[in-house]
Amino acid sequence: MAVEENEPMIARPSKNDVADPTLLLSNNPLFRGCSHEDISHLLVSGVTKRYAADEYVFVKGEAGFSCYLVIDGAVGIGSYSPDGRYCPMRELMPGDIFGEMALLDDQPRSADAVAIIPSKLLIIRRAPFVQMLERNACVSLNFLRMICVRVRSVSKRADEGYFLDLSTRMARRLLTLSTQRPDSSATPLTCCLTQERLASIVGATRQSVNKQLRMWQATGIVELSRGCIIIRDFERLRSVALN
């Protein structure tokens, strides 16, 4: 199994145990069709590492020698403009892989990757990743499909930024970042991120995000806690997201 690097700095509150990396890799579309031996080789050659909330995994312009599997937590991909404005690109949840582009084109990282909440990642080095692509035609084809999905995702995110109002964008991101699903509409979900981080993700000011959250709190959709947003009414928030 992968070597554990860095013991937990912050334990993420969760009702569920941390997901099995073997299962996450096997279920990832990139590795569909891979043998158990290939999956095991990636795990043995990798290391796991924990990141605190707001800790950078890598920054734009760095050389890329590894890709990453999200085992637990959430990671945001985005980029800052020279004047400090943040452009969010996507959020990655358990089972998602990121950082693989730099392993293939030998170019610097094109964006920042930062832990949105305390997160545990599997770090996969360049050599075993590229060797798997070379050995498995199905993985290479899966990789091309994944690139297509990424391009479509960026286009969709751009559409959201231009055409959706703030409340809809906020609702969609909160539901995305809440990895647990309720057993019933009455089951609360906890999204452990600050209002500042949510504001950067949806491309808005903290003041406007706080105003919307307080409106939702007044109507019982969410409850605000220190460093967390508790979703009290999942169905009503989903209705906002589907607007």
In angstroms, rounded to a whole number, what is the distance separating the alpha carbons of residues 117 and 103?
Answer: 26
Q: At CB < 8 A and 24+ separation, what contacts does 89-92 make?
A: 89/154, 89/157, 90/150, 90/153, 90/154, 90/157, 91/116, 91/173, 91/176, 91/177, 91/201
Residues 52 and 154 placed together within one structural domain of the fold: yes
Residues 168 and 93 placed together within one structural domain of the fold: no
pLDDT at residue 180, as a whole number: 53
Percentage of the chain exceeding pLDDT 70: 89
pLDDT digits 0-9 by tens, 47-58: 999 999 999 999
Number of domains in the chain: 2
Residues 132 and 153 placed together within one structural domain of the fold: yes
Among residues 138, 162, 186, which one ends one of the domains? 162
Residues 57 and 142 placed together within one structural domain of the fold: yes
Give me the chain's average pLDDT, please.
85
Of 26-30, 175-179, 221-225, which gets the smallest average pLDDT? 175-179
- CB count in 10 Å sphere of residue 139: 18
The set of residues, in sequence order, having a beta carbon less than 8 Å from that of 238 and lying 6+ positions away, is: 171, 175
- Give the mean model confidence (pLDDT) for residues 114-124: 94
Look up residue 100 and give its two tokens. 């693989």
Task: Determine contact, residues 55/115, Cβ cutoff 8 Å.
Answer: yes
In angstroms, rounded to a whole number, what is the distance separating the alpha carbons of residues 46 and 30?
Answer: 17
What is the reported pTM?
0.72
Residues 145 and 30 placed together within one structural domain of the fold: yes
Find the CATH number of the domain harbouring 171: 1.10.10.10
If we measure between CA atoms, which residue out of 98, 91, 95, 75 comes closest to residue 26?
Answer: 95
Residues 43 and 122 placed together within one structural domain of the fold: yes
Among residues 114, 130, 162, which one ends one of the domains? 162
The residue behind tokens 């158990």 is 36
- The DSSP H or E segment spanning 138 is helix 137-163
Cα atoms in the 13 Å half-sphere on the side-chain side of 184:
1
Residues 121 and 42 placed together within one structural domain of the fold: yes
Find the CATH number of the domain harbouring 132: 2.60.120.10
pLDDT digits 0-9 by tens, 144-199: 898 888 888 878 877 777 788 999 999 999 998 875 554 545 567 888 888 998 99
Structural domain range at position 131: 3-162
Among residues 162, 186, 204, which one ends one of the domains? 162
In angstroms, rounded to a whole number, what is the distance separating the alpha carbons of residues 78 and 160?
Answer: 15
In angstroms, rounded to a whole number, what is the distance separating the alpha carbons of residues 104 and 83?
Answer: 31
* pLDDT bracket for residue 88 (50, 70, 90): confident
Residues 40 and 135 placed together within one structural domain of the fold: yes
